[in-house]
Amino acid sequence: MIKRFAVLALVYLVFSGHDLFLKLDSYFLPPNQPVELYLFNGTFTTSENIIARERMQNVKIVGPAGTQTPEDAQWTDRNKATYLSFTTGEAGTYVAGVSVKPNTIDLSAKDFNEYLEHDGVLDVLAERRKNGQLDEPARELYAKHVKAIFQVGNEPSLHFSQVLGYPVEFVPQQNPYELNTGDVLQLQLLENGKPLANHCVYAAFSAENEHAHSGEEHEHDERQIKTNAQGMLTVNLDHAGQWYLRCIRMVESDADSLEYESNWATLTFEMK
C-alpha cells in the first residue's frame, strides 16, 4: 500500500507541478510603494512548491526608470510559493520576468504521452504517433521563462513590449492597460528572438474570487490559439480578471542522453 501511494504521489507531482506563473494580487499598483510579485509553480491558482534560488536567472523588472535586477535578499518563501519584494517607481507600464535554469525529467512512455496530451504539446505527440514512438520512454531537459505585465499609477508607457531575451517569450503588440474588456490583444511569440510560427498557445482568465475547478490543473475555459507565419496571435479579452498565456516549445534533442528539450513560456496581466 505504501509503495502504491508513493507511485501515485509521484504521478501527481509530475502532472500537477508543470506550469510556472509570475503573478501579483493586483496588477494595478500605486507609484513608489512596496509590493510583491510571486511565482506559482503548479497551476495558475495554486502553487505546489517553491523555486530554489540557485535555479533563477535573468530576473528583471523593467519600467520608466530602467531595468532593476533584484538581489537574493528580496526573495522569500512561504505557503509553497516564492515571493519577490520590490518598490514601484514612477507611473508607467512595467514588465517583470524570471528565467529558470534547465532541469531533467525521466518519464515512462505512458506518462510522457499523457503529459504531452494534457499540456497541449500536440505536435510532438503527433510526431511520436507518426514515427511509432508511443511505446518509447523519454528523458526531457526543460526550462521555464515567465513574465508579468502590470500598471503603476495611471500613466501608460511602452515598457510592456520590452523583449527580455528569454529562449521563448510572449511580446504584446498593444498595451493591455490601454485596452478595455471586449477588445482584442495581439501578441508575438518569439523563439530566440525570432517569430515562432504555427505554434499552439493556450490562454485563459481567472475572474475575481474564481478558482479552477477542483482537480483541474488548467482553467476550465482555457482556449487554444495557433500563431501565424509571423508568430502572431490574437486573444479576445472577453472577460475582466487576471489573464495568462502559456506554451511549450519542445524539440527532439541532439544530445545522446536526452530525447527532448523544451522551453516553457507564460505571460500574465489583468483586465478591469
| pLDDT 10s digits, 44-80 | 999 999 999 999 999 999 999 999 999 989 999 999 9
Nearest-angstrom CA–CA distance, 199 and 230: 11
pLDDT at 18: 79
Contact criterion met (CB below 8 Å) for 210 and 241: yes
Residue 5's pLDDT band, with cuts at 50, 70 and 90, is: very low
Name the DSSP letter for residue 89. -
Per-residue pLDDT tens over the stretch 29-42: 999 999 999 999 99
- Give the pLDDT score at 4: 32
Query: What does the pLDDT look like over 160-211, one tens digit per residue?
Result: 999 999 999 999 999 999 999 999 999 999 999 999 999 999 999 987 544 4
Best CATH choice for the domain 2-271 from the list 2.60.40.10, 3.40.250.10, 2.60.120.1440, 1.10.1240.10: 2.60.40.10
- How far apart CA 63 and CA 93 sit, in angstroms, is 6
The secondary element (H helix, E strand) that includes residue 13 is helix 2-16
Which candidate, 166, 148, 121, places its Cα nearest to that of 44?
148
pTM passes above 0.85:
yes
Q: What pLDDT is stored for residue 87 in this prediction?
A: 96
